[in-house]
Structure 1
Amino acid sequence: MRFGMSGCFLPDNMDELTPAMCQRVRELGFSGIFTRFRKNDPHTTPRHKAERVRALLADHGLRMYQATGYWQNLITPDENRRREAVRTLQAALRLAGWMGARGIDTGPGSMNPAGPWFPHPDNWTSSARRQLVKSLKECAPAAEDAGVYLSLESHQLVTLKTPEITREILDEVGSPWVRCDYDSANWITLDTIFDTTAALNHHFDLLGDHIVSCHAKDIWIENRLTLHLQDGCPGKGLMDFKTLFRRMEALNPDYPVIAEGNSTEELPFVSELFHNTARELGISVLD
């Protein structure tokens, strides 16, 4: 099993990634990163800047487990906007390849103008599903050319609201380069919050080899008079990380498990949790 980290002290601009940051990642017990270089336009960022990042990571024995897909709307019924979103995702894949990234992380987008993960009734329509499949099929050759997984993150507020729907869409796309980035918290519901073990096993049983990476995030239910499930720092909620690690290890020991939902200050706690859990399960942590 490989452990990665995301966000926290990692910069939004690839030009600001430093040797000191890479050393800090190593010292915290992680062997790779998930970066969201929001300030680097995938259409205009020159190759040499990406290759500097690639070389810097290699110098410190680190891997780019994931780069961002820039969160464009792949489901819009507006064909001009959809084609532009596809063009952006294709550029993101090319840029990720230059950085030596294993994959990119992207969702389907949302019809909600407030953000790509926010709810909108049009997110769950048959039209949205058709548009998503069309977009992913158009991006699959770019993923193959770059040697980078187009790994889809799902959530119950967007088109990929269940593992069943996600499997159907991935099967319809039918590309080994378009796969699932499994986020441990995003499909947990009121019905499963107190039994995340059963939920995880169901998700893995259903998706199987469609999964190529994992965001390890926690979730808990809050004492409010309306339903509120809050995701956050691993180890702070009800997520069964032992089952999560067992199932990821069974898929492939080389697949990355990436910490999400935590702050920089919480990284030592998360690293200790991950390494102790792996040790307890007899899972080797790979560099």
Structure 2
Amino acid sequence: MRLGCIFLAPQSLAELDAMAETLDVYGLSAIIAPKTFGDFTEDEAYAYGERARALGLVVGETGLWENFLTDDKELRANRIERFRRLLRNADIAGIRSANTLVGTKHASDRPLFPHAYNFTKECRAEFREIVLRILDGLELKNTKYGIEPWYTTFFYQPEDIMEFIVSVGHPRFGLHMDQGNMISHASFYNTTAMIEKTFALLKDDVVSVHIKDIQWEGAHFGLRWNEVPLGEGTMDIATYLRHITTLDSDMTCYLEHFYEERDYALNFARLHHIARGEGLSFLPRQPLKSERIVTGKFPKG
């Protein structure tokens, strides 16, 4: 398994080289793609992926975090086409996954907002057609399309996630794993069982992993989960790591949602400490001897 974060994310070839030593300080060998990666030319995408590999880095994910359930047909078509272009660039670069959310029917068009429709059979059927439309005709060799779970949609609990993945039935489609997004009342005080069930059902479908810890804020009137530093919440991180190591050795694991490098530094240290306690470790960056690497680049024309 390889560790990375959303904060230390090189946005260009020059930043790739400049950031390599900083990544080494924290024991990182995974990065995410630049924010504008969907706008890269094929040659630029290929060059970025090749240089990352030459530096011993695995680019684990990219994504388009917009609402695909909008009823605006023109806007939906635009988002689908942009994501298809992102998938294509990701495959050219050798990026492991490109990811989205399910989205929402909420009038705000903000993809994480709740709506009753998001939990219906009709929503599952509609989103299945969107996923198949996205994947139609793309001969992906390196990249898989993953959906990140979120509690305001049907794509939330392990059984429902498995049922949807089976219904799509595409070999390049799976789960963008984030156990922190899958916590419910039933699992909050037993995340160990949640993790074990999730991996038992979905181990073969994981495309990338996020690691976070969650705390229940009792002072808030109503249900509210807060993300907190690793080890200060309910997540059984040791069990999570043990299961991640059963996936392929290059599986990328990311920390997110902190605002300062020092906060990431603290959480990297905690995660390495937990891993060592389990006899585990994250793969270090290992620069390659040759910078020329063959990828599944699409032919021009």
Question: 1:156/1:256 Cα in 2 relative to 1: closer, same or farther (>3 Å)?
Answer: same
Q: Which stretch of structure 1 is more off in the superposition, 101-110 or 239-248?
A: 101-110
Give the 5 Å matches for 1:6-85: 6=6, 8-10=7-9, 13-14=11-12, 17-35=15-33, 37=35, 40=36, 42=38, 44-68=39-63, 70-77=64-71, 79-85=73-79
Moved more, 71-80 or 245-254: 71-80
Equivalent runs, 1:92-171 vs 2, <5 Å:
92-112=86-106, 113=108, 115-141=110-136, 144-145=139-140, 147-171=142-166
Q: Give per-residue Cα distances to partners, 1:156-186, cap 9 Å, x unaligned.
A: 1124132222111100111121011110210
Q: State the Cα distance separating 1:197 from its structure 2 match.
A: 1.2
For 2:56, the aligned partner's letter is: G
Distance 1:148 1:254 in 2: 13
The change in CA–CA distance for 1:100 and 1:233 in structure 2 (over 3 A counts) is farther
Q: Which runs of 4+ in 1 moved over 6 A?
A: none
The answer on whether the counterparts of 1:47 and 1:95 sit within 8 Å (CA) in structure 2 is: yes
Letter in 1 for 2:90: A
Check 1:232–1:118 CA distance in 2 against 1; reply closer, same or farther (3 A cut).
farther
State the partner residue of 2:190. 195
Q: Identify if the C-alpha distance between structure 1 residues 213 and 41 changes in structure 2 by more than 3 Å, giving closer, same or farther.
A: closer
User: Alignment partner for residue 88 of structure 1, among 67, 73, 82?
Assistant: 82
Q: What is the alpha-carbon root mean square deviation over aligned residues?
A: 2.4
Amino acid at match of 1:241: I
The normalised TM-score by structure 2 is: 0.83
TM (norm. structure 1) is: 0.87
How many percent of aligned residue pairs carry the same amino acid? 26
Whole-Å separation in 1 of the counterparts to 2:86 and 2:8: 22
Q: Which consecutive unaligned segments of at least 5 residues does structure 1 have?
A: none
1:177 aligns with 2:172: yes
Residue 272 (structure 1) aligns with: 269
What CA deviation, in whole Å up to 9, does each residue of 1:117-168 have, x standing for no partner? 2212222222221121112122335654352110111111124132222111
Contact 1:184 1:218 in 2 (8 A): no
Shift of 1:282: 2.0
Provide Cα deviations, 1:87-116, integer angstroms capped at 9, x if missing partner: 222111012123331111211122232521
Higher relative contact order (CA 8 A, sep 6+): 2
Structure 2 alignment gaps of length 5 or more: 285-301
CA contact (8 A) 1:15 1:49 kept: no
State the Cα deviation string for residues 46-76 of structure 1 (Å, max 9, x = none): 22332343244234211111112x1233334
Do structure 1's residue 253 and structure 2's residue 249 form an aligned pair? yes
1:211 pairs with 2:202: no
How many residue pairs were aligned?
A: 281
